[in-house]
Structure 1
Amino acid sequence: MIIAKTAEEIELMRESALIVSKTLGMLASEVKPGATTLQLDKLAETFIRDHGAVPGFLGLYDFPNSLCMSPNAQVVHGIPNDTPLVEGDIISIDCGALKNGFYGDHAYTFAVGTVSSEVQKLLDVTKESLYVGIREFKAGNRTGDVGYAIQKFTEEHGYGVVRELVGHGLGRKMHEDPEMPNYGRRGRGKKFIEGMVVAIEPMTNMGTRRIKQLKDGWTILTADGKPSAHFEHNVALVNGKPELLSTFKYVYEALGVESDEEEEFRN
């Protein structure tokens, strides 16, 4: 069952989402060659707690850390460790925060130093597919409309769309109805309702869409060992249109990037 949020609850969710946004912004300047994902994880946990929230992932389904850190061929759910990042890596950082009884949850894939043009294109297309999907999160549409838009855009660039892992509703629980696949058919799936909040999160592989799981029970890898990218926003349906609760502006401020990509989603 989809749980609609009141205007007041959406504002509380925005607060949780922005803590995640600021955490990712703080990490942006720390993602560099020589840093370890475990070091970044500890920085994030301290930052989240200092902002009056608790890490949303730590202990959730028994996950052992505050961040899912997934470099290169890891798609999602990577466990932080002591392996240093190196020039040319990419790393998906997925972060959650719980405050006032509501979750924020979103992700950004960072380049470590300079990456190849091929890998940069993967990042650019995956991030753009996120906004392509968000545009379809509107009154009268269904989950299949979002999934179809993301899938079409991504596959036109020759990339694989992961199917076993999906976006989701968000609220007092980290995962609520509906599931938000990154593939689908127009007009199919659950219908969107005013006040609902979702996490839309395309996961795009440079090669095959197929994946495998490590023996740790968490880490998801591409089946062919090629890189994967992952971007995620939290979005509310307000007055029939998508409104971003999360933002990448803190990441961009840290990286010195100018962008107006989010402006159309500010009601």
Structure 2
Amino acid sequence: MVVETDQELQKLKEIGRICGLTLKKMSEAIEPGMTTAELDAIGRRLLEQEGAQSAPEECYQFPGATCISVNEEVAHGIPGDRVLKPGDLVNIDVSAVKDGFFADTGASFVMAPIAPRTEKLCRDGKRAMWTGINQVRAGQPYAKIGQAIGDFARKNRYTLIQNLASHGVGRSLHEEPSELATWPDPSERRMIENGQVFTVEPFLSLGANWAEGGDDPWTLYSEPRALTVQFEHTIVATRAGVVILTLVD
């Protein structure tokens, strides 16, 4: 989607706020002993209170309001009877729709006690996302995003999952521009359009390069198995930089 009116921008800001707030409240509610289904129910309630609907449910009939991935799960984890334990690495991915406008956000969290290496991975995962966002400006190549994140990962001795990409969003959950690499991609030739809405969401890992399916149609696992974090914002590119739709205080 390319934003053309202030009304569109305000609608995007509203659903972005809802997604960001839901992610924040869910992260604050995480505690050992709760199930991922119980955590998902908190997210569902928050979305409904704001008049929004789960985008994965609406678009893909995903069996949950949010995606919750734990430890070895990289993405698209199905909420269920898995019990969260101290030290677990938990990724929450919230995407929703309201009044025909979509936004998408996600982040990884660790429950105490936190291993120093995992704490650093989370901190650097967020830094990798901001490294990519800082490259965004209308008229610049999309390739700068993946190149900058790749440089960051290499310098800090991480790997990147290279089959889970950023994507356009706005009028649907996944739309053009599709398959926006958050790793160096020499074949990427597209340029960022003024008003373009898309995500920046690198998957930073302690050794994995790929995400592969498991026993259900949704959950993805790292290959080779290694702890992996994801941080994501939905943004609007402008000539002056970016408007971050899913950032909340």
The two structures have a TM-score, normalised by structure 2, of 0.94
Q: Bigger CA drift: 158-167 or 238-247? A: 238-247
SS of the equivalent of 2:56 reads coil
Does structure 1 retain, via aligned residues, the 8 Å contact 2:40–2:79? yes
Sequence identity percentage: 28
Give me the TM-score of the superposition, normalised by structure 1. 0.88
Contact 2:235/2:243 (8 A) holds in 1: yes
1:77 and 1:57 map into 2 onto residues whose CA distance is 10
Give, in angstroms, the shift of residue 77 of structure 1: 0.6
| Shift of residue 229, structure 1, vs aligned partner | 0.2
Aligned-partner residue type, residue 194 of structure 2: E
Distance 1:62 1:33 in 2: 28
- Residue identity opposite 1:47 in structure 2: L
The one-letter amino acid of 1:27's match is: M
Mapping of residues 179-190 of structure 1, within 5 Å = 179=178, 180-185=180-185, 188-190=188-190
Structure 2 distance, partners of 1:176, 1:43, is 28
SS of 1:22's partner is: helix
Structure 1 gaps, min length 5: 250-267
Partner in structure 2 of residue 214 of structure 1:
214
| Aligned residue runs from structure 1 range 137-148, under 5 A | 137-148=136-147
Shift of 1:59: 4.2
Residues in 1 aligned to 2:153 and 2:248: alpha-carbon distance in whole angstroms: 21
Deviates more, 1:148-157 or 1:56-65: 56-65
Q: Contact (CA 8 Å) 1:204, 1:228: kept in 2 or not? A: yes
Distance across 2 between alignment mates of 1:143 and 1:73: 30
Indicate the residue corresponding to 1:54 in structure 2.
53
Counterpart residue identity of residue 241, structure 1: G
Aligned 8 A contact 2:138 2:195 in 1: no
2:153 is matched with 154
Q: 1:185 to 1:163 in 2, by over 3 A?
A: closer
| Partner in structure 1 of residue 245 of structure 2 | 245
Give the AA of the match of 1:117.
P
Q: Match of 2:191, as an amino acid?
A: K
Q: What CA RMSD, in Å, does the superposition of the two structures yield over aligned residues?
A: 1.6
Tell me the equivalent position of 1:102: 101
1:239: how far off?
A: 3.6
Deviation digits for residues 104-133 of structure 1, max 9, x if unmatched? 110011111231010111111110011100
User: Mean Cα displacement is larger for which, 223-232 or 56-65?
Assistant: 56-65
**2:196 is matched by which residue type in structure 1?**
M
What is the one-letter code of the residue matched to 2:44? E
Q: Which residue of 1 aligns with 2:133?
A: 134
Partner of 2:91: 92
Q: Distance in 2 between matches of 1:165 and 1:226?
A: 15
Contact 1:75/1:220 (CA < 8 Å) preserved in 2?
yes
Q: Per the alignment, in what secondary structure is the counterpart of residue 184 of structure 2?
A: coil
Tell me if the contact between 2:51 and 2:98 (Cα under 8 Å) persists in the aligned partners. yes
Q: Is 1:43 aligned with 2:42?
A: yes
What SS is found at the alignment partner of 2:94? strand
- CA drift of 1:4 comes to 4.1
Alignment match, 1:77: 76
Structure 2: gaps of 5 or more residues: none
